[in-house]
Structure 1
Amino acid sequence: MVLPDAKRIADLNDHARQTFTGCRVCITPGIQALGEDALRTILLAVQRYDTFTPDNDPYEEHDFGKIEYDEQVIFWKFDYYDLDLSMMSPDPADPTVTARVLTVLLADEY
């Protein structure tokens, strides 16, 4: 079921992912272990990602993606927290009450 605010959330997620502003970007130890060159390439691929389909984006929020790098499957995903990062956001469509966290991870770390 697509929520009424899905378009607004997708716009916020796209902006955050494409610019790395309006969110915190986290990488996992598996991504870090791939090295600096790999990290640059992976983060650029995350920023350029635009392959959203009903299969990989059923809620139309642009909150998850899958890319491949050097035979590694890599996921990126958004989570929405309150501003204290202690609980879920009360409204992911409202950036004044939401801390967006973009995590980039190896698929086997999921």
Structure 2
Amino acid sequence: MNEVTHRDRAQIIAKLNDEFRTTLTGGTVLMTAGVEALGPQFVAKALASVRAFNEFTEDNDPHREHDFGAFSIRGQKLFWKIDYYDQSMRYGSENPCDPEATCRVLTVMLAEEY
């Protein structure tokens, strides 16, 4: 098997993250208590904003993995973040490029909860 370059690795991870983020399938989606407390309509808007997010820049995506974003709803600043775990969900994934070996977790939080 050919060795995957750092750039290729980032592109593979970004593609997997984009698929997960835009469909909300293929992983676990979590909301923090602060987001949940703002009600179901707010949560729905937050999820729609995460799915539509495509404003990746050098500042918010320095590794080009599309694993973080920030947006605002009704004056509230929110972040979303994708983390990679092994199949047991106990440790970080050794290979986030491999969807069979990686459990993706997307967390949506208020900026103040970060």
Give yes or no for TM over 0.5.
yes
**1:104 and 2:99 matched:** no
4+ residue runs over 4 A deviation:
none
1:69 aligns with one of 54, 67, 73: 73
Structure 2 residue aligned with 1:20: 24
Match of residue 63 from structure 2: 59
* Per-residue deviation, 1:15: 0.3
1:38-75 Cα deviation digits (max 9, x unpaired):
11111000000000011110000000000101111100
1:91 aligns with 2:95: yes
SS of the equivalent of 2:82 reads strand
Gaps of 5+ in 2: none
Displacement after TM superposition at 1:23 (Å)? 1.1
Paired positions, count? 109
Q: Distance in 2 between matches of 1:37 and 1:81?
A: 30
The answer for the alignment partner of 1:6 in structure 2 is 10
Identical amino acids, percent of aligned pairs: 47
What is the alpha-carbon distance in structure 2 between the residues aligned to residue 61 and residue 3 of structure 1?
A: 11
Residue in 2 that maps onto 1:45: 49
In the alignment, structure 1 segments of 5+ residues that lack a partner are: none
